[in-house]
Structure 1
Amino acid sequence: MGISSSVPKNDQSTTTTKKQIFILSGQSNMAGRGGVKNKHWDRIVPDDCKPDPSTIHRLNANLIWETAQEPLHADIDTRKTCGVGPGMSFANGVKDYIVGVIDLVPCAVGGTAIKEWAKGEKLYEDMIRRSKAAANSGGEIKAMIWYQGESDTSSKHVAESYKSNMENLIRNVRSDLGLPSLPIIQVAIASGTDAKLVEVVREAQKAIDLPNVVCVDAKGLELKEDNLHLTTTAQVQLGHMLADAYLAHFG
């Protein structure tokens, strides 16, 4: 992973340091494929994604806090090569406007359909377990950032079920974390298997009718040659869009 520095828990637990926790979840575009080609990451880290050891931390797969740096999901989305995602540019985008340190909880796994994030399924339970561990170490969960849906564009039935499945997911996360008003920032997908079904899922995402749910639209952001994953530049842009949405609605 190339991550050697760690942030001891006692360094983050002083009475003067406020910990702001953000859950990063979904599938490959959240996990990050920016700069990945032929299963290799080019290791190019844009300035907006640079680590900030004193301010931005991540919960690794072993539930230990460490300096957050790209690729954020390397030990979470282990079946694929991870690169740049939106998480670091988001964190760098909000750090000057909120008090305290930023603790990121990466949970995204590529190629996963929303049914795999249903309550009781491994991905969902892992996300809840990691989120609770983050909160138990001291801090407040401020939002869940969700970018998923490309895998639900292969079937008409699945695409048409997206809205109800996503609303159930939001209700379950809020209930299991004991945060009934937890802010949710979801990304409306920009790509998928079937263009018509991409629009079905996008409309579902934009139609979620629950309080404290904001939608950020990825449509128009640059895609890689595979026409599925965002480029590094697009991921940086998306991170800024997510930061702007958080600060405008919940900051």
Structure 2
Amino acid sequence: MGKQIFILSGQSNMSGRGGVLHRRWDGVVPPECRPNPSVLRFAAASLWEEARVPLHADIDAAKVCGVGPGMAFANALLPRLPADDVIGLVPCAIGGTPIREWERGCHLYEKMVRRAREAAEGGGGEIKAVLWYQGESDTSSRDVAEAYGAKMESLIRDLRSDLQLPSLPFIQVAIASGDKHYIDVVREAQLQLNLPNVACVDAMGLQLNSDRLHLSTEAQVLLGEMLAETYVKHYLT
């Protein structure tokens, strides 16, 4: 049995706000996101447990978490793996965080690296990819938006170096919401990022909650399945 580990990181749309309205989650878990004994979650206490929505409840703990893409991704990917393999999800996303807070040396970056290492060492397993959905907080001004691409490249290079995985696959999501004045600047950086083993899934067009910022539950299911298909297409050998 092999444990295939995936890092879930970024901000609120990765930690999941599907089904969250007025700071309450409706508790609805779609069939595509139901628990599976072969899908585990690395909890905040650095222990493996059976994964359940909300995956980030004890990670993005200052906010109300609902459905994100992680469980739909895992359940879509699992049938494509060897029969006895297990998927390990390592939630690291924190809502409202701009990319400058994910730079090497900053708390969120260092915590992500630490959790990734602990996940791989605790019970064995191999880190297979990083799933990254972040950027809405970087649409606030032109200067911040224009700096996004270079900061994203640095983050990927630093993470690969610190985890000693120079070819670690990195699947980023191109944002679907944010400040209308500069969202296109960030999206362009995401869609045109040119590094080896980096793929992009575009969330534009997926349904948003009534807050016009966060993906709906249905959209999160679709995104999770899109991420799984992208991983299979580009990285599953």
| Stretches of structure 2 lacking an aligned partner (at least 5 in a row) | none
Cα distance in 2 for residues equivalent to 1:147 and 1:70: 17
Cα distance in 1 for residues equivalent to 2:133 and 2:60: 14
Tell me the alpha carbon deviations over residues 219-243 of structure 1, each in whole angstroms, 9 at most, x when there is no partner.
0000111110000000000000000
The 3-state SS of whatever aligns with 1:203 is helix
Aligned counterpart in structure 2 of residue 38 of structure 1, from 22, 47, 58: 22
Q: Match of 1:148, as an amino acid? A: Q
Cα distance in 2 for residues equivalent to 1:220 and 1:37: 20
Tell me the alpha carbon deviations over residues 108-149 of structure 1, each in whole angstroms, 9 at most, x when there is no partner.
000000000000000000000000001112110000000000
The 3-state SS of whatever aligns with 2:41 is strand
Tell me the alpha carbon deviations over residues 91-118 of structure 1, each in whole angstroms, 9 at most, x when there is no partner.
0010011131000000000000000000
Alignment of 1:1-251 (within 5 A): 17-53=1-37, 55-99=38-82, 100-137=85-122, 138-192=124-178, 194-251=179-236
Q: Match of 1:196, as an amino acid? A: H
Cα distance in 1 for residues equivalent to 2:18 and 2:209: 8
**Runs in 1 of length 4+ with deviation above 6 angstroms?**
none
Shift of 1:196: 2.9
The 3-state SS of whatever aligns with 1:220 is coil
TM-score, structure 2 length as denominator?
A: 0.98
Shift of 1:38: 1.0
Tell me the alpha carbon deviations over residues 35-59 of structure 1, each in whole angstroms, 9 at most, x when there is no partner.
0111111110000000002x00000
Cα distance in 1 for residues equivalent to 2:62 and 2:127: 27
Tell me the alpha carbon deviations over residues 143-196 of structure 1, each in whole angstroms, 9 at most, x when there is no partner.
00000000000011000000000000000000000000000000000000x213
Cα distance in 1 for residues equivalent to 2:144 and 2:60: 23
TM-score, structure 1 length as denominator?
A: 0.92
Q: Match of 1:91, as an amino acid? A: A
How many residue pairs match? The answer is 233
Q: Match of 2:163, as an amino acid? A: L
Q: Match of 1:153, as an amino acid? A: T
Cα distance in 2 for residues equivalent to 1:132 and 1:204: 29
Identity of aligned residues (%): 62
